Amino acid sequence: SKLDANLDFDAIVIGGGFSGIYAVHRLKNELNLDVIAFEKGGHVGGTWYWNRYPGALSDTESFVYRFSFDKELLQEYTWTHNYLTQKEVLNYLTHVTERYNIKDNFKLNTEVTKVKFNEDESYWEVTTNHEKTYTAQFLICGLGLLSAVHKPNIPGIDNFKGQYYHTAQWPENADYKGKKVGVIGTGSTGIQLITAIAPEVEHLTVFQRTAQYNVPLGYRKQSEEEIAEIKANYDQIWDTVRNSVTAFGYPDTNISAMDHSEEEREAKFEEAWKRGNGFYFLNHVFNDLATNREANDAAANFIKKKIKEIVKDPETAEKLTPKEPYARRPCANDGYYYTFNRDNVSLVDIKANPIVEVTEKGIRTTEGEHELDVIIFATGFDAMDGNYTKFPMIGRNNVVLKDKWKNGSRSYLGIMESDFPNMFMSRAPLSSFTNNPPAIESELGWAIDLIKYLIDNNLRTAEPTKEAVDGWYDLCLKLSEGSLFGETQSWIFGANIPGKPVSVRFYMGGMGNYNKELEKRGFSELVFDKALEKSDR
Ligand code: FAD
Ligand code: NA7
């Protein structure tokens, strides 16, 4: 350690995804700190290491699903299609770790099992599954917002004779081709998977609990000219990203859906349908689909009409038709509804006929047994706080983060918590509901500026006041109250996990406003502790 010779490292980073990689690079190469990073997985990449299921694809467009901080890298590193496959994102992130010479900072196959703030001497103790404990002044957590796997306990699963696995733990020996496959779950992941594997399996049985709105993605090859033009305009593109609502690279609109005649509105929806992308459809055609019920109904009805047109069997079409507002994380996939016209695909409505148990031979619902060789869980994640409550994270006064969050998670700016000095989080509860890489750069950018400020001013710790945390929570709550997202039961409010408190988990004010908050507040709502003198020890 360079800052305090008594500690093992200056900073410890947990997680090897976009967040961990960005943190290690800036701490090591810019602040010159001695950094170690722990990653549970066998490779860096985070989400893009774990989610190797067929059909896995970004639905942020390629040009903005990357870091913005390195202008040369933006010019050099290229892509072929308007979205990135799992493999492509993984390759990109691997490349970043090589380019910045940080690959060796990551200790792979190493899970952090406990972190504890040593209050007497103000440092973090980090314990791993290899039974070792390391110390550092700063702790940066990039544990992942959609990373803690949710695999529901279905009675009898251990009796199943075939293979079963979760999409985010896709095994190398997955053997589903030519088999009778059952998929549980029809969120963004299930939709991608179902469309991808339907042509490869003997029979696919889709177990759907809640029907989702899906719009096309518009996946296509991009010409060299198109890519060159993007690269020539990157300054302006990132400016749009950082100041927009979704940070997806689309300019904001100030047009309300209800200011149009029905005909004009339908024409706009049709245009967006042809263009593709769920975030575009939900947020950038009109500005009020997520907040105005009438506007939301209009969009929902447009998609419902499409389902009816595409899906040939009326009973299947009816089952696929959502009964709730269009207010979850928007799904986008080019072939999804068409897949249900295939002879080898069937849809089981498990809301009407719930799963009773898994048997040796398959899945039994209240209606009867479905014989299967393979069961795939596309059942999502204990999102936002799942990885933060999984192992003891202990702050001042022996406060455990899980206990602190038992009625709903809180944070200051999505980055810090009171009682947890010098602990910084990326994509944690109450961070922005936006495209992720730009949000990671904003949050960790603020955190790293703060670390630099502490070092430059010979300060040992910083932490937000309780009032600051409560103030941020109140703001997030207020912003969420205008959103129809609270009316659906999804991970966005924590409603997908049995027993988890349903509460606001995002700052819904958009990327642009979030960045303004960071700038406006600076470090004014933090309390600081002086550096320890030698004689204090
Ligand atoms: P992650 O990539 O989740 O990395 C966290 C890492 O921390 C993991 O590798 C995990 O193993 C590790 N970890 C956690 N706990 C511990 C521990 N205790 N000890 C050691 N290591 C630990 N976002 C978008 O913006 N656009 C998209 O198109 C998009 N598509 C997605 C598609 C899928 C299938 C999924 C699952 C997510 C998608 N996301 C998308 C969200 C995605 O998670 C983020 O974009 C981004 O990858 C998050 O990076 P991260 O580093 O913060 O977290
Ligand atoms: P999601 O969006 O949480 O979807 C999970 C799906 O699994 C959804 O259809 C759930 O139905 C279903 N589910 C969950 N638990 C059960 C049980 N117990 N029984 C039956 N069905 C169940 O996760 P995804 O992975 O698709 O997407 C999450 C994000 O990660 C997304 O933003 C992507 O970017 C990647 P429900 O709707 O709860 O009725």
Check residue 535 and give its pLDDT.
Answer: 47
Predicted confidence (pLDDT) per residue in 167-177, tens digit? 999 999 999 99
Share in percent of the chain as helix, strand, coil (round to 5)? 35, 20, 45
d(CA 520, CA 430): 17
Calculate what percentage of the chain has a pLDDT beyond 90: 98
Cα 500 to middle of ligand 2, angstroms: 15
Q: What is the mean pLDDT of residues 92-116?
A: 98
Cα 117 to middle of ligand 1, angstroms: 25
Asked if residue 128 has its Cβ within 6 Å of ligand 2, the reply is: no
Q: Are 296 and 324 in contact (CB under 8 A)?
A: no
* Phi, psi (degrees; rounded to nearest 5) at 203: -145, 140
pLDDT band for position 533 (cuts 50, 70, 90): low
Check residue 1 and give its pLDDT.
Answer: 81
**Which ligand 1 atom is at minimum distance from the Cα of 59?**
28
Of all protein residues, the one whose alpha carbon is nearest to atom 34 of ligand 2 is 188
Calculate what percentage of the chain has a pLDDT beyond 70: 99
Cα 143 to middle of ligand 1, angstroms: 7
Asked if residue 188 has its Cβ within 6 Å of ligand 2, the reply is: yes
Above 60 in pLDDT, residue 536? no
User: Model ipTM?
Assistant: 0.99
Q: What is the mean pLDDT of residues 90-104?
A: 98
Residue 37, SS3 per DSSP: strand
Asked if residue 187 has its Cβ within 6 Å of ligand 2, the reply is: yes
Locate 71 and state its tokens: 């202008």
Residue 68, SS3 per DSSP: coil
d(CA 242, CA 516): 10
Locate 88 and state its tokens: 């492509």
Predicted confidence (pLDDT) per residue in 234-259, tens digit? 999 999 999 999 999 999 999 999 99
Locate 232 and state its tokens: 């020539």
Predicted confidence (pLDDT) per residue in 415-443, tens digit? 999 999 999 999 999 999 999 999 999 99
Which are the contacts of 481, defined by CB distance < 8 A and separation ≥ 6? Answer: none
Predicted confidence (pLDDT) per residue in 383-414, tens digit? 999 999 999 999 999 999 999 999 999 999 99
Q: What is the mean pLDDT of residues 110-114?
A: 98
Asked if residue 380 has its Cβ within 6 Å of ligand 2, the reply is: yes
Q: Are 35 and 11 in contact (CB under 8 A)?
A: yes
